[in-house]
Amino acid sequence: MLVQSDFFTQADGEPVGVENAAGSSPVLLVCEHASRRLPQRYGDLGLSQEALASHIAWDPGALAVAQLMSQSLDATLVYQRFSRLIYDCNRPPESPAAMRDVSEIFRIPGNENLSAAERSRRTSALYLPFHGRIREEIAERRERGGETVVVTLHSFTPVYFGQERAVEIGILHDRDSRLADLMLRQAEGTGRFRVERNEPYGPADGVTHTLEVHALPAGLLNVMIEVRNDLIQDETGQRVAADFLTGLLRDGLEAFQR
Ligand SMILES: [Zn+2]
Please report whether residue 188 resides in a domain. Answer: yes
How far is ligand 1, taken at its centre, from the CA of residue 135, in Å? 20
Q: What is the mean pLDDT of the chain?
A: 95
Q: Is residue 3 pLDDT above 60, yes or no?
A: no
Please report whether residue 9 resides in a domain. Answer: no
How far is ligand 1, taken at its centre, from the CA of residue 55, in Å? 9
How far is ligand 1, taken at its centre, from the CA of residue 57, in Å? 10
Please report whether residue 10 resides in a domain. Answer: no
How far is ligand 1, taken at its centre, from the CA of residue 252, in Å? 22
What is the mean pLDDT of the segment spanning 114-126?
A: 96
Query: How high is the pLDDT of residue 82?
Result: 98
Report the percentage of the chain scoring pLDDT > 70: 98
What is the mean pLDDT of the segment spanning 49-61?
A: 95
Please report whether residue 182 resides in a domain. Answer: yes
How far is ligand 1, taken at its centre, from the CA of residue 89, in Å? 9
Please report whether residue 60 resides in a domain. Answer: yes
Query: How high is the pLDDT of residue 97?
Result: 94
Query: How high is the pLDDT of residue 161?
Result: 85
The number of distinct structural domains making up the chain is 1
Query: How high is the pLDDT of residue 105?
Result: 83
Q: Model confidence over 215-236: pLDDT tens digits?
A: 999 999 999 999 999 999 999 9
Please report whether residue 37 resides in a domain. Answer: yes
Query: How high is the pLDDT of residue 57?
Result: 96
Q: Is residue 123 pLDDT above 70, yes or no?
A: yes
pLDDT-based confidence at residue 212 (cuts at 50, 70, 90): very high
DSSP output for the chain: ----TTTS-TTT--SEEEE-TT--SSEEEEETT------GGGTTTT--HHHHHSTTT--TTHHHHHHHHHHHHT-EEEEE-S-TTT--TTS-TTSGGGG-SEETTEE-GGGTT--HHHHHHHIIIIIHHHHHHHHHHHHHHHHTT---EEEEEEEE-SEETTEE----EEEE-SS--HHHHHHHHHHHHH-SS-EEET-S--GGGTTTHHHHHHTTTTT--EEEEEEEGGGGSSHHHHHHHHHHHHHHHHHHHHHHH-
How far is ligand 1, taken at its centre, from the CA of residue 74, in Å? 22
Residue 222's CATH number: 3.40.630.40
Range of the domain at 235: 16-257
Please report whether residue 133 resides in a domain. Answer: yes
Q: Is residue 2 pLDDT above 80, yes or no?
A: no
Please report whether residue 11 resides in a domain. Answer: no
